Amino acid sequence: MKFDSDVLVIGSGIAGLSYALKAARFGTVHVVTKNRQDEGATRYAQGGIASVFSKSDSFASHINDTEVAGAGLCHRNIVELTVQEGPARVQELVDLGVAFDKDTTSGEYDLTIEGGHEHRRVFHSRDFTGEAIETALVAAVSKHPNIRLFENHAAVDLLTNVRPQKLRRSDGMRCQGAYVLNSTSGAIHVFSARVTVLATGGAGKVYLYTSNPDVATGDGIAMAYRAGARVANLEFMQFHPTCMYHPRAKSFLISEALRGEGGELIDASGAAFMQKYHSMGSCAPRDIVARAIDSEIKRQGADCVYLDITPKRSGHTAAALKERFPNIYAKCREYGIDLTTEPIPVVPAAHYMCGGVLTDEHGESTIENLFAIGETACTGLHGANRLASNSLLEGAVFAHRAALRTEERLRRMKPKLDLKIYEALPDWDSGKAVPMEERINIAHTWRELRTTMWNYVGIVRTNRRLEKARTRLDYISHEVQEYYWSYLLNPELIELRNLVTVADLIVRCALARKESRGLHANLDTPYLDDTYFKRDTIV
């Protein structure tokens, strides 16, 4: 079965849905998402969206903060355009109905500050910011007559006009849509489109411990790479410093905003330790904080450290803390922790992929008519480490820029000629694949993959660990290929295949960078080497 549209969007977070709303003004849009329409990293974003608003702030300051966090690898032009276009994109969210918090006295936006920021510039909706944004976008998309949403549909692979070559040159390639699995019926359909947009989020589930939701399996990055697109900087996986440490708390993030509001990282004895690692203390950039926590845990032989936001430490009343962080307060109470009277146990966990599908300033990949936006993309904004709350900003800005470029592209295309091309797209061929009777092998392989990545390609790396990971991943990849060709596809197998691809790319990028920079820390090459490695790692 074929589904034809002007634009195919794969993913339904802030980037995908923002883009869909804009593209629907001039074309038909199909949005496919492998789970519910509101399930993804956007929904769980607690902190907020960074953008210059206060008179005491400036574009120059936001640009500088972004570049400092990025450790010399940010693309200056991308940083400038993202920061400068930010206020307009935030206003669009407000116009959609996102109610960012305001000061009850002045009526002005209640901007907060997070690690690495010089000024208060983070818009938030208490600690439900992502949910507020996602809710507004879903409501707008569901009412638009030009948008058709396909829930529980998992993209398998991209359709292009030529097969990728061994040298991975994507010159002359054009994307024409994707094969998509209907997870309910098991059928695989052709979704043809003149423009295809990858907005599938990150790949945190490649690691054993992550703040990401279960859907974060690197699908867009893996599909783009298999199709022949260039990817870059996958060695830079950001580990969020503070995820709740509790046997029943699955990947619950403790927002950086708590540290912005006076929370302090302490050890089991109550001693604050961040000042000895960075002058900004607990509000230092995430890579520094994550490594510091990792170092303290290893040095003391501890299971975790603690985040103290109690009134005595932060200066806020218990009532104010409950009002500002209702979600985090409720979740902590669920696990027997009262953040107003005791510190929260925390550990680092894989959080955000700073690399991804290599794109230009409009979000277009090295394959024509294939765009990547949001965490799936490597735009050059984040460099070697993302500044807090720049992720939602990037998603909104590049959704807009990609939509503008899409409108220009569709105007130039010849609809009648395109129709013949897309009608000729081949149906999915399952060959001799048979139904999978048991899924225990997938679960076992998934666990082995994630454990390998956590143990050998984590916060601090060595060449020996990376080589061990590469050897083990080669074996796992062979297993997964056997599953792929032997069995009919299901969502779990699709995700496992994508995770193996992304894991391999992370290791290859990490081995290629012979220095330590930003989120990539290698004990064998602990120095910064601007002469040879002040550049993107492109594969």
Query: Does the pLDDT at position 528 exceed 50?
Result: yes
* Average pLDDT estimate for 267-288: 92
Give domain status of residue 69, yes or no.
Answer: yes
Give domain status of residue 431, yes or no.
Answer: no
Contacts of 214 (CB under 8 A, 6+ apart): 205
Question: Catalytic positions, please?
Answer: 286
Q: Residue 120 is part of a domain; what is its CATH number?
A: 3.50.50.60
Residues 50 and 190 in one domain: yes
DSSP secondary-structure letter at 190?
Answer: E
Q: In a 3-state reduction of DSSP, which class is residue 287?
A: helix
Asked if residues 473 and 507 have their Cβ atoms less than 8 Å apart, the reply is yes
Write out pLDDT tens, residues 473-521: 999 999 999 999 999 999 999 999 999 999 999 999 999 999 999 999 9
Closest-CA residue to 79 (of 92, 102, 61)? 61
Asked if residues 350 and 357 have their Cβ atoms less than 8 Å apart, the reply is no
* Average pLDDT estimate for 128-134: 92
Residues 494 and 523 in one domain: yes
Total residues belonging to the chain: 539
Pairing outcome for strands 370-372 and 356-358: unpaired
Residues 215 and 256 in one domain: no
Query: Does the pLDDT at position 169 exceed 60?
Result: no
Helices 463-486, 440-456: crossing angle, 10 deg rounding: 160
Q: In a 3-state reduction of DSSP, which class is residue 459?
A: coil
- Quote the percentage of the chain above a pLDDT of 70: 96
Write out pLDDT tens, residues 329-359: 999 999 999 999 999 999 999 999 999 999 9
Residues 406 and 509 in one domain: no
Write out pLDDT tens, residues 59-116: 999 999 999 999 999 999 999 999 999 999 999 999 999 999 998 888 899 999 888 8
Q: In a 3-state reduction of DSSP, which class is residue 74?
A: coil
Give the residue from 390, 423, 456 where a domain finishes.
423
Range of the domain at 481: 440-533
pLDDT score of 412: 86
pLDDT score of 239: 92
Q: Pseudo-torsion of CA 108, 109, 113, 114, nearest 10°?
A: 180
Q: Residue 461 is part of a domain; what is its CATH number?
A: 1.20.58.100
Residue in the structure block whose two tokens are 């699908």: 219
Residues 227 and 89 in one domain: yes
Query: Mean pLDDT of all residues in the chain?
Result: 92
Number of structural domains the chain divides into: 3
Query: Does the pLDDT at position 291 exceed 70?
Result: yes
